[in-house]
Amino acid sequence: MRTTFSVYLILILCCSCVFAQEYIMDGPRSSSYVPSASEGQVTALTGGNWGTTGDIPVPADYDNDGKTDLAVIRYGYWYIRYSSGGSGVIQWGDLDDIPLPADYDNDGIVDLAVFRRSYSTWYIRKSSNPAANITVSWGQNGDIPTATNRFSSAYATASVFRPSTGMWYHYNQLTSAKLGTQWGTNGDMPVPYDQTASGLSQEVVFRPQSGSWYNKVLGTIFWGGLGDKPRARRSHSIILPIFQK
Ligand SMILES: [Ca+2]
Ligand SMILES: [Ca+2]
C-alpha cells in the first residue's frame, strides 16, 4: 500500500528563480506502481529560467499553439513553461522512467508518456482524456523505446529497437496493429525520423564508430563520430530525447 503525504518541495530553477509550492507526493513505490489519473493534475507555477542540473529536457508543444514549450522532467515531475503563457507541473511516471512525449491518442495534442524498463510498459496520459490513460506492454528488457510515426502521420506509435538482434517492433496502440522489421545492429542508436517527406518515419540508426546514419529507405549518410549523440526531430514539434543507459 502506498502512503500519501504532503511535503513542501522547493524548486530551484537556475540561480535566479525560486518557487515554493505544496505538492502531494507518493511514498515509496511498490513494484506494481503505475501512474494514476490523480497524478495527472496540473499545478500552476510562475517563473523565469527553466531547468536545473540533472533535469531531462522534453521540449514539445504541450498547449497546442504551434510553438514548442520549454519542459523538463525531474523525478517523475514534468515542469512545463507554456508558450501561450503560464506554466505547470504534472506528475507522470517515476525516477527511472524514460519520457517519450508525443500524440498517441490522435487528437493533435502532445501527451505525456513514459516507458518503464523494468516492466517494458508504456504509460500514456491522454490529452483527450487525462483520466483514462493508455497502458501498453510492449518491448522487453534491454529494448530501447522510441516514438515513431510508423503507422500514421497523424499520431505516434509505440516502438522499440532491440540491440541484440537489430529488430524494430512497432505497435499501434489505437488499432493493435504490429510490425517487426530488422534494421541495425548491436551498438547502434535508433533515431527514427521522416527523411522522405512521406509523413511516416523510417527506421534509422546511428553507428558512432563510423559516424554513419543508416536509413532503411534512403541509405547511408556520414555525419558525426564516436562520442556523438544523434538527435532527430520525429515531427515538427518533438525532438526525441536520446537514452543510452
Ligand atoms: Ca506551445
Ligand atoms: Ca494527444
Q: What is the pLDDT of residue 234?
A: 57
Choice between 34 and 105, residue whose per-residue pLDDT is larger: 105
Q: Which ligand is nearest to the CA of 61?
A: 1
Report pLDDT digits (tens) over 204-214: 999 988 889 98
Q: Find the 45 Cα to ligand 2 centroid distance in Å.
A: 23
Mean of the per-residue pLDDT values for the chain? 80
List the strands of the sheet with 219-222, edge to edge. 189-190, 204-207, 212-215, 219-222
Q: What is the pLDDT of residue 39?
A: 56
Q: What is the pLDDT of residue 11?
A: 32
Q: Which ligand is nearest to the CA of 109?
A: 2
Q: Find the 29 Cα to ligand 1 centroid distance in Å.
A: 32
Residue 169 has a CB neighbour count (10 Å cut-off) of 18
Q: What is the pLDDT of residue 236?
A: 46
State the Cα–Cα distance between residues 62 and 72, nearest whole angstrom. Answer: 12
Question: What mean pLDDT do residues 56-73 have?
Answer: 92
What's the pLDDT band for 49 if we cut at 50, 70, 90?
Answer: confident
Q: What is the pLDDT of residue 43?
A: 56
Choice between 36 and 184, residue whose per-residue pLDDT is larger: 184
Q: What is the pLDDT of residue 44?
A: 54
